[in-house]
Amino acid sequence: MLEKLREEVCRLHLELPKNNLVTWTSGNISGRDPETGLVVIKPSGIMYEDLTPENLVILDMKGKIVEGDLKPSSDTATHLYIYRHRSDVCGIVHTHSPFATAFAAVGKPILPFLTAICDEFGGPIPVGAFAPIGGEEIGREVIRSIGTSPGILMQNHGVFTVGKSAKAAAKAAVMVEDAARTVFYAYNLCKQLDSEPIPISPDMVARLHRRYKEEYGQ
Ligand SMILES: [Zn+2]
C-alpha cells in the first residue's frame, strides 16, 4: 500500500542525519497521500539505517494503524493534528537540529536578515509557545503560531516544518537549520564588531519571497 510514498518518506529520512539535523533516533518525517488521506510515518525509536519503506507505519487521520507492525513515532499526535487543520499540508518534518533549537531554547525567532530566509520563509521563522509532548498541545500551538511560514521553532523543544509534500517539508527543515546557523554566526560577529545585523525592509522581504515562489527553479 502507498509504495511510492513509503519509498519517498524512507529516503527523505536519510537526509536528516546527512544534513546534521538529528542525533540518534530523534526526528521524524511523515507524508500524507492526498487521495486516500492516509499518512506514512516513521516508527518510534528505530535507527535511521534500519528504516525501510516496509517498516514505516500507515495511519488514518484519527491515528488508527492501517498497515504496520511497529509503534508509530511518539510525535504522531502532532503530525495528525497539523494534517487535520491544514488541508494544504502533505508533508511534516520534526527535528531538534542544533542551531535552530538553540533559538528555540531562548525563545527567539530567526529574523529575515538574509535573502535566502526571505525566499523560503517570507518573514521571520516564528517561535511557538512551550507545549508538553505526547498529546495535541504541540499540534495546536504549531497551527496557532506558524502563519504562512513553512517552519516554526517550538520553544524549549525544536523545529517543525510543513510543505505540500514530504520533500518540501524536508527542504524547509534543512533551510531552517541553515538560516539559524548563519544568523547565529552573524549575532556572534556583531558582538565582536559592536554592530547589529542589517534588517531587510518588510516590502523587500515580501518581494523576494514572491519572486522566489513564482520564478525560481525549472
Ligand atoms: Zn521533539
Across residues 89-108, what is the average pLDDT? 98
pLDDT level of residue 215 (50, 70, 90 thresholds): confident
The answer to whether residue 182 scores a pLDDT higher than 90 is: yes
Give me ligand 1 centre to Cα 187, in Å.
26
- How sure is the predictor about 210, in pLDDT bands with cuts at 50, 70 and 90? very high
Q: Give 38-92 pLDDT, tens digit per residue.
A: 999 999 999 999 999 999 999 999 999 999 999 999 999 999 999 999 999 999 9
pLDDT the model gives residue 217: 80
Determine the distance separating the centroid of ligand 1 and the alpha carbon of 144, expressed in angstroms. 18
User: Which residues is 127 bridged to in the sheet?
Assistant: 153
Has residue 218 got a pLDDT over 90? no
What HEC string does the chain produce? Answer: CCHHHHHHHHHHHCHHHHCCCCCCCCCEEEEECCCCCCEEECECCCCHHHCCCCCCEEECCCCCEEECCCCECCCHHHHHHHHHHCCCCCEEEEECCHHHHHHHHHCCCECCCCHHHHHHHCCCECEECCCCCCCCHHHHHHHHHCCCCCEEEECCCEEEEEECCHHHHHHHHHHHHHHHHHHHHHHHHHHHHCCCCCCCCHHHHHHHHHHHHHHCCC
pTM score, two decimals? 0.97
User: Average pLDDT, whole number, for the chain?
Assistant: 97
For position 104, what pLDDT does the model report?
98
Q: How far, in Å, is the centroid of ligand 1 from the Cα of 158?
A: 6
Q: What is the mean pLDDT of residues 80-106?
A: 98
CA distance 144 to 122: 18
What's the 154 CA to ligand 1 centre distance in angstroms? 9
What is Dmax (Cα atoms) for the chain?
58
Ligand 1 geometric centre to CA of 6 (Å): 22
Give the mean model confidence (pLDDT) for residues 16-29.
Answer: 96
Q: How far, in Å, from the CA of 26 to the mean position of ligand 1?
A: 7
pLDDT at 6: 98
User: 134: pLDDT confidence band, cut at 50, 70 and 90?
Assistant: confident
The C-alpha cell 531587510 sits at: 200
pLDDT of residue 216: 83
Distance 97 CA to ligand 1 centre (A): 10
Chain segment 151-170, per-residue pLDDT in tens: 999 999 999 999 999 999 99
